[in-house]
Every structure is written in C-alpha cells, then in structure tokens.
Structure 1
Amino acid sequence: MTSEDVEVVVIGAGQAGIAMSEHLGNAGIPHVVLERARIAEKWRTGRWDSLVANGPAWHDRFPSLSFDSDPDGFPAKDEVASYFETYAATIGAPVRTGVEVTSVTKNEGAPGFRVETATGTLNARYVVSATGAFHTPVIPPVVPAGTGVEQIHSAAYRNPGQLPAGGVLVVGAGSSGVQIAAELRASGRDVFLSVGPHDRPPRRYRGRDFVWWLGVLGKWDATTPPLGAEHVTIAVSGADGGRTVDFRDLAAAGITLVGRTRACRSGVVEFEDDLARNIHAGDANLLALLAEADAYVERNGLDLPAEPEAHVLGPDPACVTDPLARLDLAEAGIGSIVWATGYGQDFSWLKVDAFDGAGRPRHQRGVGAEPGVYFLGLPWLSRRGSSFIWGVWHDAKYIADQIVIQRGYAAAYSHAE
C-alpha cells in the first residue's frame, strides 16, 4: 500500500468537487480530487433515463463555461455529466477516478488527517467533503416487504418498462415524484400520486424563468428556510421543455392524487386527510410569488407583459374534493410503488469530531467544527442556492478562501519557529 502527502484532499468529483478544484487551483493550492466512480457519476447512473436539469442552461452552470445547447433549454442528464467532465479537463482538475475513500481520521498529536482508500493512504492537511447530502435513498418502513408489490426508490427508477405490469403508486410530489408520475401516466399506466407539503413556483412568468425571479427577488440568498419548511419539496420540472407544475393538470391527465402515505395494513395503504390542504398551500406559495413578481415589475418599471391568467386557478378535481382515505393495492391492480422520498446522509467514513448526535455535519458556511475539515454541496450550506450547480460554485470559492487563510496561519507558525 502506498502513502502520499497532499495538502488538500477533496472527496467527490461531482459539481461540488469540480468547483472546489477550480478555486483551489486558482489559489495555487496543491490538491487531489478522489472519486470512487466517474466524474458526475450520479448524473450518469443515479437517476431515471429521461431526467433533465430543473433549471435552464443559462442559469444552472458554472460562470466560465456555457452549455453548447439552447440557453433557455433544460440539458439532459448525460449532457450535464459531459459538461462537468469537460469542465474538469478545461481547468486541469487533478481528479483520480475509481478511488473510494474508506475512512478519514485525525492524525494523533499532529496536524492533518489520514485518508484511507482502497489503493493507498494519503496524508492531508485539509479535507473537503464534496459528496453533498444525497447519499442513501430513504424508503419509509410503511409497506411491508411481503405485501406483493415491487417497491423501489426513485434513485433506482429508470423508465416505465422497468416496472412490473399494473398500476403504480408514486409517493412524494417534489420534482422527482411529479416527473416520474407524469411519465408513467403517459406510458398508459394507472397512477396514484401521494402529495405532501410542497412549494410550487411558476416555471415561467411574464417571460422569465422562475430561477430569474428567485434571483431578482433575493430568494436564492435566503440563509435559512422558513420555519417549518426545512424539508418542504419543490414541485418544478424542466421536462418537455419546462412547464408549471399544476396538480390539477396531473389529475386531468388521469393521475389520482392522494394525501401523504401513512400506513399499510393487510395490503391496504392508508393516506392522511391532508391532500386539499397541501394542494392549497402550494397554490398560496405560487400566488405569493406571482404577487411579489408583479410588484417588482411595477416598482422597477420593467416592460414585461402582464400575465393575469397565471393567477387563475381551476376548480379542485374530484380526487381532491373527495379524496381516497385508503387504497387496496391488489384491488386497484397496483404492481409497484416508487418512493420519491429523498435521501439520508451517510458520513460514516468521516471519523472526525464534526457531527451532532444525529450524524449531521456541524459547520459554519461549510467550515467544519473539526478544524481542517470542510463540507460542500449541502442544502442551505450558506443560502438557498447552495445545493444548485451555480450555488455550489460560489460556496466553493468561500471555502477555498478559508483554506488560504488557514495556510497563512500555518506558514506564520512555521516562520516563528
């Protein structure tokens, strides 16, 4: 087994790791980026076949490189993966693929960390965890394994043909859930969509994409989520050229909306009595943003065409006014359940004093509680935009600056000796 001294080890070569490498390289800081698979592997194999970016190409990118496609379009997942591969080559990022980090431990009685991999050991003065937060797919223990339906997480879903015959219950109505449900319905499946609390921005309004509105209204810079909305999903999609997600449209297409999934007894799934409340709260979120946008246009005298029809919501569909309280899976012909229920964090390999009792990173804008350890790519790391492509780039710049500062202190100590 080999041993190597490196000043900074960055773990993960997705959007966070590549952004980190750029800023470290610009600062002249020696580093390596370790990736257990390939660059941007989750974009390649960690999502369904038809996935596209949720933001337009002009926005969801790093500042110094544009996508080759339509700036207002939504790049396909393979295009996004190629973008990061090209970017890494352009900046000369020292990425080592096929290298899995098995543990990181603090050196005893000395600065720095011991980074263990399957191919050898690295001694690093600083470690940046650029693995993000979406590590372990979460399937709530609601439906017993012996119920007779196939259960998969959205991370394992690829296309409708992958699933067994029959209808599908999709649990979770964020970006993944609504897109998967729509695709399944378009393939001819009977689909039930379990809808929880969500934000529902317009895809476009008055000729501008919602990412533009969140920017000019200062919402990307919010430093903490609204109270009680820490885990609220966002129902937005770039699929089919991008359009505003309206659950009424999904119902009109034949999808049966149901409340949050709470239990399953003897093959019968039970739902919370919260469907209308969740739908209407999403509507309120939409209308509030439209009102803020209108006020911004008026205040700044912008020549953006009014769009009064966007404020008009249709009547609630029957599945909302008279919702199902339970669903007999066999009787309804349900052959599978897709759980679009998010991910858990797994930092078990990072054996340092930088976590709370629940295993969550303790940090300030990515600067870990353990000196010399940094986190990048976490939701709300510094602001609302932190887990987005462009947001992680700016967070990486801040972390690189902090490493520069710490290097200065270390150099001053060595000089004093």
Structure 2
Amino acid sequence: MAGEEVDVLVVGAGQAGIAMSEHLSARGISHLVLERNRIAESWRTMRWDSLVANGPAWHDRFPGLEFEDVDPAAFAPKDSVAEYFESYAEKIAAPVRCGVDVTSVRRRPGAPGFHVTTTDGPLEARYIVAATGAFQKPVIPAVVPESAAVLQLHSSSYRNPEQLPDGGVLVIGAGSSGVQIAAEIRRAGRPVHLAVGAHDRPPRSYRGRDFCWWLGVLGLWDAAAPPAGAEHVTIAVSGAGGGRTVDFRELAQAGIVLTGRASGYSDGVLSFAPGLREDIAKGDVNYLELLDAADAYVERNGLELPEEPQARVQLPDPECLTNPVLELDLAAAGITSIIWATGFARDYDWLQVDAFGNNGVPQQQRGVSSEPGVYFLGLPWQSRRGSSFIWGVWHDAKYVADQISIQQGYLEHHEAGALASSRV
C-alpha cells in the first residue's frame, strides 16, 4: 500500500461503508474501503447471540438486495445481517480491504488531501469518509467500582444467560438492547432487575402494520432532529420473538423488577433515582400519541385496516411501580451480575483534523464536516430520524456521495483551467 493514492478513502466496512461504496461507484468516483476486521464485524462480535434486527426485513435493508431466507415481515438474525452486507459488497464489487486499521489521518501541509497511516503502510487520499458510525467505544458509567463483588459486563460483551454466574442479574438501561437482554435472562429462569430511564415506547405494530410503516406514512422518519430535551431518550422497541410491543408492566408481570435509573453506589448498596413512574407514564403518552396519529391517518385516507381496541388496554401498575425500589443491597438480593446497556461513545482519535467540537462531537451538516474534504456517515440523526437504520444510512450515503462529486467537479474545472494556462 506504500505510496498508494486514492480519490476517496472510506474508513469502515459496516453498513455505512458499504452504502458509501455503492454510491461512489455509481458516480464513477474511484475509492477504497478499509476495514480493521471483517465486513459488518460489529454485527458478528458486538451483539448477543439471539439479536435480531429492529426493523422487518422488507424495510430494514438496502434497495438493491432483499434478504435471503428471511421472510419480508420477519426480523433478520444478526448473522443474516452480517452475511447480507457481505453479499451486498460482493454484488456491487466494493473495493474493500479487510484487516487494515487506519491509525491516523492528517491534512497534507501545503498540498490538497490527506496523509493516511495504516497498519498496511501509508497512503494519500483526496477525500476521507469516516464511516465507522457512532457506536465504537462501550460506555459503562462510573457508578459501581470494579472492585465490587459482582460481574460487570457491557451489553456488547453479553452473549447469552449461560455465560453469567449463577444468581440474579441487574440490567441497567431499558432501550432496545436492555429490554431484550432482560427478557431473555428472565425467560432462562433467572431473577432480573431492570433499571429504566426516559424512553420512547412505540407500538411494534398496530392495525396490521409495523411501526416502521407507520413512521413512514406519518412522515416521522424524516424528522430532522429529536425534540428538545429528548436527545438522549432511548427507544424501547424490539423485533425479538417475532416482534412484540415493549410493555414494561408486562415485563414486571413476568417477574422482572423495575427500578429507576442507577444513581449511586456505597458499601454494596446501589441507589436508584426517583421518577420511574413518571418515565413509564411519558412512555405511555408516546405510545398512545402514535396510536392516535395512526387512527387519524386511517380515517383521513379511508383505509380498511382492522381496528385494534386492545392495543389501548393497559395492565395494572405492578408493585415495583407504585412502591419503587430506591436502594438495593446487591448481595442480599442475590445479584451476581450487572449488564450495562448504556450505549457507546464516539472514537475518532485516528482522525486528526479540525472537524470536532470541544466535546468531541463531529461538526457536520448531513455528513459534510467543518473540515473541507472530510465527511461523516452513520451518525444518529445525521439527516433524519431514520439515519440510524440500515435503509437510512443508505440514503445519507447518497447525499454525501453527491457532495463529493460536486467537489470533484470544481477540482476538475481548476485542473482543466491550469492545464489550458500552461499551454498559452
């Protein structure tokens, strides 16, 4: 690779990198995709065994290829998703090199483009697309010390209940990952506590249509930014078990003890913030608002979709909701494991350019960064609510490829003008 020059270097060969490659190829833009591991590695090794996609196969895919051996209404298992991206990369002849880690990207002094250092040698690139996404570094809040007599795992390291020591399990975080993991461990017969914070709770399906369809026809996928104050609100939705609406009261009825957010720890006792009942109530409001919007859409458009009055039936509040647990002695409660379903942090240490704010957040608009020639792809809310979904990143990649093509056009005009001047 030493001395190699490329027009566009795409870093990362997950869903973002493969989408980027397709759109660059469609515009005739030469490029290279580097991946430190394998294509779609995070789907293989940073997910638990039973994970399925959160969207049905008819929706959560790229336009150019359907899933094989997955019913369109079903939710693809994680291994099928990884194989899908491998097949897609082969289909579009994506120029992917696996096993190559990009260790630094710096602007070339006094020259256009960037100098790139990799584990396979240096190269030069005119444009850089950081397609590593936003889920790079697992985050475990500094609440329970490592010295505590309990196993602590991030959800990215959890595989199945059998890997955990005997005893109860506390799952902290009740977004898609936390809810599915807690339910799986409970089905395995283990005592489970689940710490719940602020969340949105959409119906998995309503009146015979998946919530992905409802968000589409209601225009909600195209929301450009989360509501004020909801930037860190998780989404409690799951495709597990064929797809069921997440119902925290139902989880409690199945034996899971709900708590508020983990807030502190001292001498083996974990404390929880008040507000569990309020957070559950806000999730209920979010759920019912979507049902109301769906009903209005059906009436407005004269659609013949079956009514579903049972969707509004609410189970009674469990004891853990009316009399919430504010402190928990882990040993006394028999808890031997804590699983932190608390998300990820960005890791762009390798990208040593002026494209970040003081907090390390990429400074970008729809993927076009504040550093000319540098682009981002795979960020939550990059252009819309749907940017985190497989189909959404494909559309974001199309826009980024357009911007690179525009810049190439300006460069070609400059070079043509310089060549003409040299002939005078």
Q: Deviations over 1:316-356 (max 9, x none)?
A: 11110011110000000100100000001111100001000
Q: Deviations over 1:92-135 (max 9, x none)?
A: 00000000000000000111001110111110000000000011
Distance 1:3 1:232 in 2: 46
Task: Give TM-score scaled by structure 1 length.
Answer: 0.99
Structure-2 residue corresponding to 1:203: 204
Structure-2 residue corresponding to 1:18: 18
Aligned pairs (5 A) from 1:299-378: 299-378=300-379
How far did residue 415 of structure 1 move?
A: 1.2
Q: Which SS does the other structure have where 1:142 is aligned? A: coil
1:62 aligns with 2:65: no
Q: Which SS does the other structure have where 2:290 is aligned? A: helix
Structure-2 residue corresponding to 1:262: 263
How far did residue 215 of structure 1 move?
A: 0.5
- Structure 2 contact 207–307 (Cα < 8 Å) conserved: yes
Structure-2 residue corresponding to 1:276: 277
Distance 2:405 2:179 in 1: 43
- Structure 2 contact 10–34 (Cα < 8 Å) conserved: yes
**Identical positions, percent:** 67
Distance 1:392 1:158 in 2: 26
Distance 1:39 1:106 in 2: 27
Distance 1:147 1:46 in 2: 25
Q: Which SS does the other structure have where 2:410 is aligned? A: helix
Aligned pairs (5 A) from 1:34-45: 34-45=34-45
Distance 1:162 1:169 in 2: 15
Letter in 1 for 2:272: F
Structure-1 residue corresponding to 2:77: 76
Q: Deviations over 1:281-327 (max 9, x none)?
A: 10000000000000000000000011111112121111100111100
Q: Which SS does the other structure have where 1:2 is aligned? A: coil
Q: Deviations over 1:254-302 (max 9, x none)?
A: 0000011000110000001111011111000000000000000000000
1:291 aligns with 2:325: no
Letter in 2 for 1:309: Q
> Stretches of 4+ moved more than 6 A in 1?
none
Q: Which SS does the other structure have where 1:8 is aligned? A: strand
Structure-2 residue corresponding to 1:241: 242
Letter in 2 for 1:335: T
Distance 1:205 1:379 in 2: 26
Structure-1 residue corresponding to 2:122: 121
Structure-2 residue corresponding to 1:28: 28
How far did residue 364 of structure 1 move?
A: 1.0
Distance 1:278 1:293 in 2: 23
How far did residue 234 of structure 1 move?
A: 0.4
- Structure 2 contact 250–315 (Cα < 8 Å) conserved: no
- Equivalenced residues, count: 417
How far did residue 159 of structure 1 move?
A: 0.4
Please list every run of 5 or more consecutive structure 1 residues that lacks an aligned counterpart in the other structure: none
Distance 2:214 2:312 in 1: 16
Distance 1:275 1:247 in 2: 11
Structure-1 residue corresponding to 2:422: none
Q: What's the RMSD between the two structures over aligned residues?
A: 0.7
Letter in 2 for 1:191: V
How far did residue 4 of structure 1 move?
A: 0.4
Task: Give TM-score scaled by structure 2 length.
Answer: 0.98
How far did residue 171 of structure 1 move?
A: 0.1
Q: Which SS does the other structure have where 1:5 is aligned? A: strand
Structure-1 residue corresponding to 2:49: 49
Distance 1:183 1:155 in 2: 15
Structure-2 residue corresponding to 1:168: 169
Q: Which SS does the other structure have where 1:173 is aligned? A: coil
Q: Which SS does the other structure have where 2:221 is aligned? A: coil
Distance 1:387 1:276 in 2: 29
